[in-house]
Amino acid sequence: MKAGGMFWFAALAAFLGWVMLSTSPNERFIRACAPVRWTGNVTLSIAAVLDPTGEAATKEFFDKSDYVCRYTFWRLFYGHAWEQEQNRLRGGFRQGLPQTPSAAHPPSGRRP
């Protein structure tokens, strides 16, 4: 492996270690998406110098990008379990409601 490749491998390993050493899942998501914020800060600084009128739009873009990054990680790791829990809760709620006959399936012996 060349020296440049070894440097990038070591940097990636250090970054992943920094992400995994956090104390909570939320903190891991924030750390995993830190490069988006870092890139946004650098881009925002350059944009402020080159075109101050575009600074707000640039900030909004990177704020949304950071949110999308965190949401993507959350959905990847917790989305399926959350959906299952929501379905379980909805099913329990429906079981507690009184049953009403459906218009599509009228009770036998009666015509709609």
Q: Determine the pLDDT at residue 94.
A: 58
**Helix axis angle, 25-32 relative to 34-50, nearest 10°?**
40
Instruction: List CB contacts of 65: < 8 A, sequence separation 6 or more.
Output: 36, 40
Question: For residues 44 and 62, what is the distance between their CA atoms, to the nearest angstrom?
Answer: 9
CB atoms within 10 A of CB 97: 7
Extract the tokens encoding 60: 């909004």
Average confidence (pLDDT) over 43-57? 90
Q: Determine the pLDDT at residue 19.
A: 93
pLDDT at 3 over 90: no
Q: Determine the pLDDT at residue 111.
A: 47
Model-level pTM greater than 0.85?
A: no
Per-residue pLDDT of 58-112, as tens digits, reads 999 999 999 999 999 999 999 999 999 988 888 866 555 555 555 444 445 444 4
Question: For residues 9 and 2, what is the distance between their CA atoms, to the nearest angstrom?
Answer: 11
Q: What is the mean pLDDT of the chain?
A: 84
Assign 1 a pLDDT band (cuts: 50, 70, 90): low
Ranges of H-type helices in 3-54: 3-20, 25-32, 34-50
